[in-house]
Amino acid sequence: MRRRQWLQWGCAHCAMLGGLAQAQSEWTMPPRLPRPELSGEEGGLWAMMDREETRLRRSPFRVRNAELDKYLAGIACQLGADHCPDIRVYTMRAPYFNASMAPNGMLQVWSGMLLRLENEAQLAAIVAHEIGHYVQRHSLEQMRDAKARAAFATAMAAAGVVGLVGMLLAVGGAYAFSRDQERDADRIGVVLMRSNGYDTREAPKVWANLLDEVKANPDSDPALDSVLFATHPTSEERRDALQRQAAQAGGRTGAAEYRATLAPLRFGLLEDEIKRGRPAESKVLLDRLLASEPDSAELLYFRGEALRHRDAAGDKTLALADYDAAVRTGRPPAPTYRSLGSLYQSMNQPDAARDAWQQYLRAAPDAPDAALIQQAIGDIK
């Protein structure tokens, strides 16, 4: 799957852009949406999504964590108000920025998005935005367009080939919302955030942080890499809107609650992030996370991993500094020593590599790669 397609689906549905400053408090939540008749076009769309939701529940990509499920459902229920009984939240293990809500109330969030958020207010901004699309029935509006119907049919036909996650990605591409629909969802999202006591100034930070990551790659052109920056209002308009938004009164952010909920899962999410193979972007993300937790051995280890994999000029030295800093905390993740061994080996320091690998085996004697590491130690002359 091309990188632009990943970003297109994720960013187009989660953008907090120009409409933020235009939120109007007079908007009120419409009543619950009745289930449409199966014989109608909307009923058919709901039925398709019902079937896909059944597959989603059983998917091996689904993150099954009771505390996280309860936390996300609570936020969606709070923001959705009377629509709470109709919203179901699923977390999917995929290291990309994505959230989407189907017309039948199925809301999926991807683990890469959760990793990038800093607090509950930012999560609420995304969930509220998706609820805005849902209550305004934007998917149905798009379906009534002939081109969208054709694209949707093509996406559905491909479902058996690309699998569940790819199919949902394709469906999202078929329903790329218009600028006006995105502004509408932004406006509603901010109203819902404010009415529930969240700091609306956190919403534009989601966009700003994602933009920083996209721009981290050499010769990056955000307008080409992501539909978020290609199809939404100009940079100047976004900048001015964000400045106006930041000037408004604040509310709660829920940083501690969010961090505590994600903590048991974060190591695995960071592993997935490194495996994504975009080390320059990963470093930007980890720099930002370390700004809030400068003594986190976990984050120091993973930033070392991002630097080691990027392997630009000076990165080996920087990676070594991060690994050493993680060790000095007294609680380094065991793989820190494995990576130190690999780094020392690449720097032609075999004795240091052997010592680090031996420390890894002492810290994780039952590691699945223990035999390979033991062999690597034996190969050192």
Q: Residue 271 above 80 pLDDT?
A: yes
Instruction: For residues 38 and 36, give the distance between their C-alpha atoms in angstroms, rounded to a whole number.
Output: 6
Q: List, for residues 165-193, the tens digit of each pLDDT value.
A: 454 455 444 456 667 777 788 888 888 99
pLDDT of residue 155: 52
Q: Establish if 320 belongs to a structural domain.
A: yes
pLDDT at 244: 62
Q: How confident is the model at residue 27 (pLDDT cuts 50, 70, 90)?
A: confident
**Distance of alpha carbon 40 from alpha carbon 170, whole angstroms:** 23
Q: How many CA atoms lie within 13 A of 144 on its CB side?
A: 8
Same domain, 35 and 106: yes
Query: What is the reported pLDDT for 159?
Result: 44
Strand 99-101 and strand 88-92: the pairing is: unpaired
Residue 348: CATH number of its domain: 1.25.40.10
Do residues 126 and 157 share a domain?
yes
Residue 33 is predicted with a pLDDT of: 86
Q: Domain check: are 277 and 179 in the same one?
A: no
**Residue 81, in any domain of the structure:** yes
Segments forming the whole domain that contains residue 141? 3-246
Domain end: 188, 214, 246, which one? Answer: 246
Q: Check whether residue 205 and residue 304 sit in a common domain.
A: no
Q: Is residue 252 part of a domain?
A: no
Q: Is pLDDT larger for residue 347 or for residue 2?
A: 347
Distance of CA 264 to the CA centre of its chain: 17
Burial bucket for residue 141 (CB in 10 Å: 0-12, 13-18, 19+): middle
| Pair 365, 283 in one domain | yes
* pLDDT tens, residue by residue, 210-263: 888 988 877 665 555 554 554 444 433 544 554 465 456 678 999 999 999 999
- Euclidean distance between CA atoms 294 and 292, whole angstroms: 6
Instruction: Report yes or no on 251 lying in a domain.
Output: no
Q: Poorest-confidence range of 62-66, 185-189, 371-375?
A: 185-189
Same domain assignment for residues 13 and 152: yes
- Looking at the DSSP bridge assignments, the partners of residue 107 are 89, 101
User: Do 111 and 34 sit in the same domain of this protein?
Assistant: yes
Range from 21-30, 33-42, 138-147 that averages highest in pLDDT: 33-42
Contacts of residue 164, Cβ cutoff 8 Å, sequence gap at least 6:
52, 55, 56, 59, 61
Using the 3D structure, point to which of 192, 212, 246 is the last residue of a domain.
Answer: 246
Total of domains in the chain: 2
Is residue 337 over pLDDT 50?
A: yes
Judge if 88 and 164 occupy the same domain: yes
195 and 302 share a domain? no
Average pLDDT, the chain: 82
Judged on CB neighbours under 10 Å (0-12, 13-18, 19+), 139 is buried
352 domain residue, yes or no: yes
| Shared domain check, 137 and 53 | yes
Give the CA angle between residues 21, 99, 209 to the nearest 5°.
55
Percent of the chain past pLDDT 90, that is, above it, reads 54
User: Would residue 263 count as lying in a domain?
Assistant: no
pLDDT tens-place string over residues 66-124: 999 999 999 999 999 999 999 999 999 999 888 888 888 999 999 999 999 999 999 99
Q: Identify the pLDDT of residue 2.
A: 46
Question: What average pLDDT does this structure show over 344-370?
Answer: 96
In this structure, are 144 and 38 located in the same domain?
yes
> Residue 198, SS3?
strand
- Give domain status of residue 326, yes or no: yes
Secondary structure (DSSP) of 311-375:
--TTHHHHHHHHHHHHHHTT---THHHHHHHHHHHHTT-HHHHHHHHHHHHHH-TT-TTHHHHHH
Whether 124 and 237 map to the same domain: the answer is yes
Task: Point out the domain boundary residue: 183, 214, 246.
Answer: 246
> pLDDT at position 377, please?
94
Would the pTM count as exceeding 0.75? yes
Q: Is the distance from CB of 170 to CB of 164 less than 8 angstroms? A: no
- Decide if 316 is inside a domain: yes
> Of all residues in the chain, what percent carry a pLDDT higher than 70?
75
